[in-house]
Structure 1
Amino acid sequence: MDTGKMKENQEAEQNGEESNEDDQNQKVSFYKLFTFADRLDVIMMIVGTLSAITGGLAQPLMSVIFGEIVDSFGTATPDNVVGVVSKASLKFVYLAIAAGIAAFLRGKVYTTDVNFSWGLRNRVKGWQIAIVLLGCIPLMAIAGGFMSLLMAKMSSRGQIAYAEAGNVVDQTVGGIRTVTSFTGEKRATDNYNKKLEVAYAASVKQGRASGLGLGVVMLVVFSTYGLAIWYGSKLIIEQGYNGGRVINVIMAILTGGMSLGQTSPCVNAFAAGKAAAYKMFETIKRKPKIDPYDYSGMTLENFEGEIEFKDVHFRYPARPDVQIFSGFSLHVPNGLTAALVGQSGSGKSTVISLLERFYDPHSGEVLMDGVNIKNLQLRWLRHNIGLVGQEPILFVASMKENIAYGKENATDDEIRRAIALANAAKFIDKLPQVYSLSN
């Protein structure tokens, strides 16, 4: 019998591990991330995307204008150099205006079909040097992407370490009486210092990774500069290129390469978002067995408060191997004060959880005035049953608001009557602001 149970447990564990692995590998589609986007969201995303594209065109266009300015220095005479340069510089103003319009999301974008193959060599500026420098783009993209990934990983470690240190402080301050009673101040301080040492080490590693990554990126960038200038000078001498065209190509290629490197964190963010969204959508699709928003069910006009448990069997979903109730029965007539006494884990709190319908029993019945509570409207049931925990939680509001939270539109007389029933009137009356006190 024991061997059979062990096999069942092993199979259950294996099935659980397989299901966890399946959940980790599950992702939603990219478009499903925008399932709950309304019409305004879609419009804003479209306008934002088009504006981002328009704004992104500013950098390559700037390289074209900068190349024209470089050419104007070489071709203009002393008499007209100011006019030629000013004319080229004025294009920067136009570019700034266009970028500003895109930034304020007020641009219109039109698309036109173009025969790209027609006149390719005549339309692409400096195609020979561009082909050479295109070989450097993968290096820049890899270097930039590696640096971004490394920085993100190191930053995550540092944040976790600082969060653990903050957790030590939070627990120590929250339980300061316990810490003081056991003279554990030094121990708490030492524990906090250890966590800070881990955070400091993570920050040092992050700094080293940042320096190394930036050094590699700069090495690739300046090596590309050197290659571009060397090959550009050859083209100027041998094929009649001008300086502006070379500068134009260099800036455009470097901008494109660095931009590709910077897209890596965004791609990772989308991948992480699709994986995280899977669990979220599964939770949204899940239909709870006990729906608090289901207003169907009956209500009792003459509610007396008689409670009865009949042959109840129950296990918590999180602990299916632990039997809490096995044939539990209890009858509490209306008007009777009853106390449940037992050791920890015997099911005292479970009785209240079943009565409030936080859970339903696997078998048996829970009756209220002779009616199965499954047939009662859940909102009505919980509205008529008050639960005060061993350590009640107070909301950040006045004492009056906290007391009135159990009943909508509660009057002052009802609040005072509740205070009297709770034997709390004596100490509340001594407070300076009485029922409007904010703590």
Structure 2
Amino acid sequence: MQDNKQTTQEPVQNGELPLDDMSKLEDTKPKDDKPQETGSVSIIKLFKYSNWVDYILLFVGIFGGLAVGILNPLIIMIMGDVFDTFNVSSDSSLDLSNMPLEQQNILNHVIFDSVTSSVNTLILRMLYITLGSTFGKFLYRFCFFILSERIGLKIRKLYFSSLLRQDSTFYDSQETGTLTSHISIDVQNIQKGISQNFGLLFEAIASPITGYVIGFVKCWDLSLVILSIAPFMILGTIFMGSSTKVTRSKGDVYDSKAGAIAEETLGSIRTVQSFNQEKAFSEIYSQNVKSAQKWFVIGGHFLGIGMGFVMFTIFCSITLGLFYGTVVLRGDGGMKNVTAGAILVVFMSNVISTMSLSKISMPASALAISQASAYKIYQIIDRIPDIDATNTEGLKP
């Protein structure tokens, strides 16, 4: 006979398991598969599911946005040239006091022909710039609209496919309705960030840079005076973008929870009524809605404070520019022989470029929101479950 091997177990003392059994139980605890609600992806990872067609649309749209941003400030240069062309009386070399009447008439015809020819040339240049700007705006709006629709459709397909491959432990950690709210709200936020707002971001960046270059070439000292306020404006713009990103991300979390509770309650309304839990679910829904409203209101306050500060800095730069512009016209500035048209170009280009900096906040905020929304969706798309229904590897019967 074979000896039967008896296994011994440590007795249970005071209702507690031995340490070895406790460690085994801890290893079998279910993992927390719930994805993180807050975070953001980089701009490059925002286009991680794009193909070569999407990249062509992206680069063509970026080119159109940069072209519009560069061409718009050039119109200001033409306006300055037109101003100098009409300002014939500023030529101090003309002495008409001792000139005969016939010579004055001849001179008037010469000046008229010269002004007409110069103005016609400038009008054609302005027409070409306007046509180029119009085509560039159409180009980037068209490309980014198609790009956003293509990427949005791909994300929806990948997101739905990822949901189908997940195991039951993943769904146990999710609130009912949260997954559907991601595909309806977050995907739309991603599309808003990479649609026309993305092209507008490049336009808003290229326009002030071009305007500042024009201003420094025409009169560097006046440009420095006007730009002395620009750092404060940049700080205000950064404040608006960062505050909007944080508050919108936190508000979307509570908004998704409220939508999930509403969908779950309405889908099981008979069960809720049978247990007389209408008031309880209503209170939970109201708490999430109020929390989302609180963060959205805080974000609105921050946005208003930042916008007010930016406008204050713009008016300060206008005041300094008007004061120092008169100094330059008198010949007491750093650059000499500066015409009135050049002063107009410097003033307009720097002021408009400084005001254009505030336009960066809107597309930048939309991009920040899309990055935060993509973080939540991409986590689910990239998640590999422990039991993958689509995995064909391993032993097969």
**What is the TM-score normalised by the length of structure 1?**
0.49
Hey, what's the Cα distance between the residues in 1 that align with 2:298 and 2:74? 39
Asked whether the 8 Å contact 1:140–1:258 carries over to 2, the reply is no
1:23-422 to 2 correspondence within 5 Å? 37-72=50-85, 74-75=87-88, 83=116, 88-105=122-139, 124-238=217-331, 239-257=336-354, 262=360, 265=365, 283=383, 292=390, 294=392, 374-376=395-397
Hey, what's the Cα distance between the residues in 1 that align with 2:242 and 2:57? 29
Identical aligned pairs, as a percentage? 24
Cα displacement (A) at 1:60: 1.9
* Paired amino acid for 1:225: I
Matching residue of 1:354 = none
Hey, what's the Cα distance between the residues in 2 that align with 1:62 and 1:168? 55
Cα displacement (A) at 1:177: 0.8
RMSD: 4.8
* Paired amino acid for 1:96: T
Cα displacement (A) at 1:211: 2.0
Hey, what's the Cα distance between the residues in 1 that align with 2:330 and 2:269? 79
Q: As a proportion of its length, which structure holds more helix? A: 2
Q: 1:25 to 1:191 in 2, by over 3 A?
A: closer
* Paired amino acid for 1:68: D
Q: 1:26 to 1:39 in 2, by over 3 A?
A: closer
Hey, what's the Cα distance between the residues in 1 that align with 2:356 and 2:28? 49
Cα deviation per residue 1:115-156 (whole Å; 9 max; x = unaligned)? xxxxx9999211222233343332222211211222333333
Matching residue of 1:113 = none
Asked whether the 8 Å contact 2:40–2:371 carries over to 1, the reply is no
Q: 1:195 to 1:254 in 2, by over 3 A?
A: same
Asked whether the 8 Å contact 2:216–2:346 carries over to 1, the reply is no
Asked whether the 8 Å contact 1:129–1:228 carries over to 2, the reply is yes
Q: 1:8 to 1:183 in 2, by over 3 A?
A: closer
Hey, what's the Cα distance between the residues in 1 that align with 2:277 and 2:284? 10
* Paired amino acid for 2:329: I
**What is the TM-score normalised by the length of structure 2?**
0.53
Cα displacement (A) at 1:222: 0.9
* Paired amino acid for 2:347: I
Structure with bigger gyration radius? 1
Cα deviation per residue 1:310-368 (whole Å; 9 max; x = unaligned)? xxxxxxxxxxxxxxxxxxxxxxxxxxxxxxxxxxxxxxxxxxxxxxxxxxxxxxxxxxx
Secondary structure at 2:330's aligned position in 1?
helix
Cα displacement (A) at 1:57: 0.7
Cα deviation per residue 1:143-187 (whole Å; 9 max; x = unaligned)? 112112223333334444433333332222112112222333344
Hey, what's the Cα distance between the residues in 2 that align with 1:269 and 1:172? 28
* Paired amino acid for 1:98: G
Cα displacement (A) at 1:87: 5.8
Secondary structure at 1:375's aligned position in 2?
coil
Hey, what's the Cα distance between the residues in 1 that align with 2:81 and 2:380? 53
Cα deviation per residue 1:83-119 (whole Å; 9 max; x = unaligned)? 576764554322110112323449xxxxxxxxxxxxx
Matching residue of 1:424 = none
Hey, what's the Cα distance between the residues in 1 that align with 2:381 and 2:278? 45
Secondary structure at 1:57's aligned position in 2?
helix
Cα displacement (A) at 1:38: 3.7
Cα displacement (A) at 1:260: 5.3
Cα displacement (A) at 1:219: 0.6
Cα displacement (A) at 1:71: 3.8
Number of equivalent positions:
277
Asked whether the 8 Å contact 1:67–1:245 carries over to 2, the reply is yes
Structure 2 gaps, min length 5? 1-16, 91-107, 141-212
Cα displacement (A) at 1:243: 3.4
Cα displacement (A) at 1:271: 7.4
* Paired amino acid for 2:80: G
Hey, what's the Cα distance between the residues in 1 that align with 2:48 and 2:244? 32
Cα displacement (A) at 1:61: 1.1
Asked whether the 8 Å contact 2:265–2:281 carries over to 1, the reply is yes
Asked whether the 8 Å contact 1:141–1:260 carries over to 2, the reply is yes
* Paired amino acid for 1:57: I
* Paired amino acid for 1:61: L
Q: As a proportion of its length, which structure holds more strand? A: 1
Cα deviation per residue 1:250-286 (whole Å; 9 max; x = unaligned)? 3333454455562755885797699779968965xx7
Higher RCO (C-alpha 8 Å, min separation 6): 2
Hey, what's the Cα distance between the residues in 2 that align with 1:55 and 1:291? 49
